[in-house]
A and B are shown apart, each in its own frame.
Chain A
């Protein structure tokens, strides 16, 4: 394919639109300023010589200008898919196609990116070349869903574009009431805070349940997201139904010489004010010799001190993840943060990752069978209560799940003694296992 760049180098004269070009006086105002301009990019596509998408992008600019003038959107949904799949394409039909016919169909293909968003330039060029053949030449890297969004495809070309993307190893992502495309942070690839292999978890889990992604049959959307530590760079706790957040169970590692070097560099008062005093559980103390005293049993693995002193402090050696469930945005009962469901899930061996897949399967099955239509799992949890939810997915209650025990006395406790006995049995069993492991 041609990689002609004259389009990108052409000056876009304002107010001197060529014959047939829609004037865009409002959008033109978004071409000035220091930030890269999407309008200039859209115009490059409109002005690309001999490209099949140029007329489409002229009308797209026309419709967008119309939106800027009228302060309203003019797209509607519909049904467009590829052979064998039920989701992954976001159909867009113009409501003002009589005025902007070339962009009357402007569908998006949601394509799953490599885990962690790694690309070679060769790969990006291949993706661009395919998209120039069948689509608009407009790509979002990336959507809030975690997908590469190839935006602007006619109904006829959706299958052709997908076939070529698919042939070089790319697959459609999720849309509608289905398993959705996932995200994982850079993690192991370039971050010392990473507590588990995010690529392995991301690919093992999602690739196990592709049927739920490609043929939407769940009550509503279901999202997994994978962050390697509690900094949660992919916003998993709020923005996923099943958040896997890296953590460690033993003591954090402290290089006291580096602590001293840090204190010497920033000053004792600064270190106390910004590291010691900012610990949310008062688990840190600065010793008289400028070394650090850590109360690891009080530490909640929030990551603040590790972030500030990455050379001095690191996660411990017994690594895995916390699993939080039920995060979502407002529709319909209000915003929910994910809730701690599994405080520590060991993620080191292949068997551990297999257990994660099996646990995910249990949760998805429960969701598929028990959630109401258009209900996220966080809403199911609220509707049935955490005790019933935990029982359904086979998890025992744990004080890490709550800020504090219940304050409402409206509860029936006649089997409290049996439940307490189960707790002590569990503790004894765990202690026994720990002894065996030692």
Chain B
């Protein structure tokens, strides 16, 4: 290991050019596609201006993949497809083939190797996946385990297209919410103010930065046992955990105080209704590894109610918009509490400022 090697200057090449890795039919018809359909769940057929066709087979993965799994997928792509793959935003893998007769053997090979084919159209597609206990420095729960548990339950809905519209589920292991907005969002909700290790605060944390980080101005500098530290006004604290990343001695997580909340009606697409944030349904569910059964039951209830009641093309939020929140809580059997009433900036805009009422 020479010094010269250690000082190798990086080549600042940035975003790699995808064209050398793009399926030849995709490359040839770049910007020249005219329509598509879905011959079966998990399979897309795209048709180009010149009549060229390409079939895409989509399969679910565990996202956190060992190299052996990736090589297995490569072996399948080389043997049953044409050596070109891509990944979706939600970590599904797609195999492109230029002939219809390659689709069935490819589907069969993927299924036999344990990769479910689906996730297209009005299915429950792969959960948007974060890091959790496997790798994050601030997680309240795991991500991979939650995703695995939920997708085991939802496998039948992934490989079919039987929902009123697509269902995007997200998970997040803290309230920063890396998972984003979802038709159903399974998110950590802290329930206790941070526990402060006053021996470490002055050594580890830049105190003014931590004070500035608090969204409700509940943190102030303080001397505790003769040491410079921070204190939290627990009456004001909303238990958001924002102080924890910049100041790890302000531990927000607790084995019993870190809970799970389930939210619904988030949407990124602009189709029909505008993009929307998800809304609280149930809080205070236990953080219960390895299978989170209480969370799974809530998700199952919401999905079953949506599937039975929504019209085609209505996303979960749009369905609730039509039937109204009273009917949603009635149909699902969940409680509506004072915690469902927003108290944050702009809260009045979430209230019903009219005489419109449903019974």
Contact B33 A191 (CB under 8 A): yes
Contact A117 B87 (CB under 8 A): yes
Contact B255 A374 (CB under 8 A): no
How near does chain B come to A193, taking the closest CB pair, in angstroms?
9
The CA-CA distance from A29 to B33 in the complex, in Å, is 45
Q: Does A190 contact B (CB under 8 A)?
A: yes
How near does chain B come to A371, taking the closest CB pair, in angstroms?
13
User: Which of B10-18, B227-235, B325-333 lies on the face that meets chain A?
Assistant: B10-18
Which residues in window 327-380 of A have CB below 8 A to B?
329-335, 337, 373-374
User: Which of B97-105, B126-134, B218-226, B298-306 lies on the face that meets chain A?
Assistant: B126-134
Contact B269 A230 (CB under 8 A): yes
Contact A207 B70 (CB under 8 A): no
In the complex, residue of chain A having the shortest beta-carbon distance to the beta carbon of B181 = A238
Please tell me which one of the listed residues A119, A162, A239, A374 contacts residue B180 in the complex, with CB atoms under 8 A apart: A239
Q: Does B352 contact A (CB under 8 A)?
A: no
How near does chain A come to B212, taking the closest CB pair, in angstroms?
7
The CA-CA distance from A120 to B344 in the complex, in Å, is 48
Contact B64 A38 (CB under 8 A): yes
In the complex, residue of chain A having the shortest beta-carbon distance to the beta carbon of B291 = A29
How near does chain A come to B170, taking the closest CB pair, in angstroms?
9
On chain B, the residues within 8 Å of A189 by CB distance are: 18, 22, 26-27, 30
Contact B240 A83 (CB under 8 A): no
In the complex, residue of chain A having the shortest beta-carbon distance to the beta carbon of B113 = A36
Please tell me which one of the listed residues A33, A76, A120, A166 contacts residue B83 in the complex, with CB atoms under 8 A apart: A120
Known contacts A3-B71, A140-B65, A189-B30; is-contact A68 B145 (Cβ 8 Å)? yes
The size bracket of the interface on B is 35 or more
Which residues in window 301-342 of B have CB below 8 A to A?
311-313
Contact A45 B66 (CB under 8 A): yes
Interface residues as binary, A44-60 with B (CB distance below 8 Å gives 1, 0 otherwise):
11001000000000000
The CA-CA distance from A139 to B63 in the complex, in Å, is 8
User: Which of A13-21, A121-129, A392-400, A424-432 lies on the face that meets chain B?
Assistant: A121-129
Interface residues as binary, A150-187 with B (CB distance below 8 Å gives 1, 0 otherwise):
01000000010011001101111000000000110110
On chain A, the residues within 8 Å of B56 by CB distance are: 190
Which residues in window 39-82 of B have CB below 8 A to A?
46, 54, 56, 60-74, 77-78
Which residues in window 240-298 of B have CB below 8 A to A?
240, 242, 248, 253-256, 258, 268-275, 277, 287, 289-291
How near does chain A come to B250, taking the closest CB pair, in angstroms?
13
Contact B6 A73 (CB under 8 A): no
On chain A, the residues within 8 Å of B61 by CB distance are: 36, 141
Known contacts A27-B290, A92-B135; is-contact A72 B12 (Cβ 8 Å)? no
The CA-CA distance from A188 to B55 in the complex, in Å, is 16
How near does chain A come to B347, taking the closest CB pair, in angstroms?
10
Contact A141 B89 (CB under 8 A): no
Known contacts A41-B69, A331-B176; is-contact A76 B137 (Cβ 8 Å)? yes
Q: Does B358 contact A (CB under 8 A)?
A: no
Please tell me which one of the listed residues B36, B62, B130 contacts residue A35 in the complex, with CB atoms under 8 A apart: B62
Q: Does A217 contact B (CB under 8 A)?
A: no
The CA-CA distance from A190 to B88 in the complex, in Å, is 12
Known contacts A92-B135, A141-B65, A190-B46; is-contact A34 B255 (Cβ 8 Å)? no
Q: Does B163 contact A (CB under 8 A)?
A: no
In the complex, residue of chain A having the shortest beta-carbon distance to the beta carbon of B268 = A235
Contact A330 B84 (CB under 8 A): no
The CA-CA distance from A189 to B48 in the complex, in Å, is 11
On chain B, the residues within 8 Å of A30 by CB distance are: 145, 148-149, 290-291
Contact B346 A192 (CB under 8 A): no
Which residues in window 226-251 of A have CB below 8 A to B?
230-235, 237-239, 245
Majority-rule SS of B interface residues: loop
Which residues in window 299-332 of A have CB below 8 A to B?
301-304, 307-308, 310-311, 314, 329-332
On chain A, the residues within 8 Å of B14 by CB distance are: 112, 171, 203, 206-207, 210, 213
Known contacts A29-B291, A125-B74, A171-B13; is-contact A235 B84 (Cβ 8 Å)? no
Q: Does B193 contact A (CB under 8 A)?
A: no
Known contacts A112-B14, A112-B16, A190-B46; is-contact A124 B35 (Cβ 8 Å)? no
Contact B21 A67 (CB under 8 A): no
Known contacts A29-B290, A76-B137, A335-B277; is-contact A166 B13 (Cβ 8 Å)? yes
On chain B, the residues within 8 Å of A118 by CB distance are: 18, 21-23, 26, 84-86
Known contacts A36-B115, A233-B89; is-contact A302 B11 (Cβ 8 Å)? no
How near does chain B come to A232, taking the closest CB pair, in angstroms?
5
How near does chain B come to A361, taking the closest CB pair, in angstroms?
15
Please tell me which one of the listed residues B19, B256, B268 contacts residue A238 in the complex, with CB atoms under 8 A apart: B268
On chain B, the residues within 8 Å of A203 by CB distance are: 14-15, 17
On chain B, the residues within 8 Å of A335 by CB distance are: 277
Q: Does A80 contact B (CB under 8 A)?
A: no
The CA-CA distance from A117 to B85 in the complex, in Å, is 8
User: Which of A194-202, A290-298, A383-391, A415-423 lies on the face that meets chain B?
Assistant: A194-202
Contact A84 B290 (CB under 8 A): no
The CA-CA distance from A349 to B197 in the complex, in Å, is 58
Known contacts A71-B287, A77-B137; is-contact A311 B35 (Cβ 8 Å)? yes
Q: Does B194 contact A (CB under 8 A)?
A: no
How near does chain B come to A414, taking the closest CB pair, in angstroms?
29
Q: Does A64 contact B (CB under 8 A)?
A: yes
The CA-CA distance from A308 to B311 in the complex, in Å, is 14
Please tell me which one of the listed residues B11, B33, B137, B345 contacts residue A334 in the complex, with CB atoms under 8 A apart: B345
Q: Does A26 contact B (CB under 8 A)?
A: yes
Interface residues as binary, B113-143 with A (CB distance below 8 Å gives 1, 0 otherwise):
0111000000000001111111111111110
Residues of B within 8 A of A (CB): 5-23, 26-27, 30-31, 33-37, 46, 54, 56, 60-74, 77-78, 83-89, 91, 93, 96, 114-116, 128-142, 144-145, 148-149, 151-152, 155, 175-181, 209, 212-215, 240, 242, 248, 253-256, 258, 268-275, 277, 287, 289-291, 311-313, 344-346
Given contact pairs A67-B133, A170-B16, A190-B26, enumerate 17 new A-B contacts (beta carbons under 8 Å): A27-B290, A34-B114, A35-B148, A38-B63, A42-B64, A72-B253, A83-B9, A85-B10, A116-B86, A118-B86, A121-B84, A124-B74, A131-B67, A142-B63, A171-B12, A186-B86, A330-B177
Q: Can you identify 6 A-B contacts, CB atoms within 8 angstroms?
A: A119-B86, A128-B70, A280-B273, A304-B271, A314-B34, A330-B175
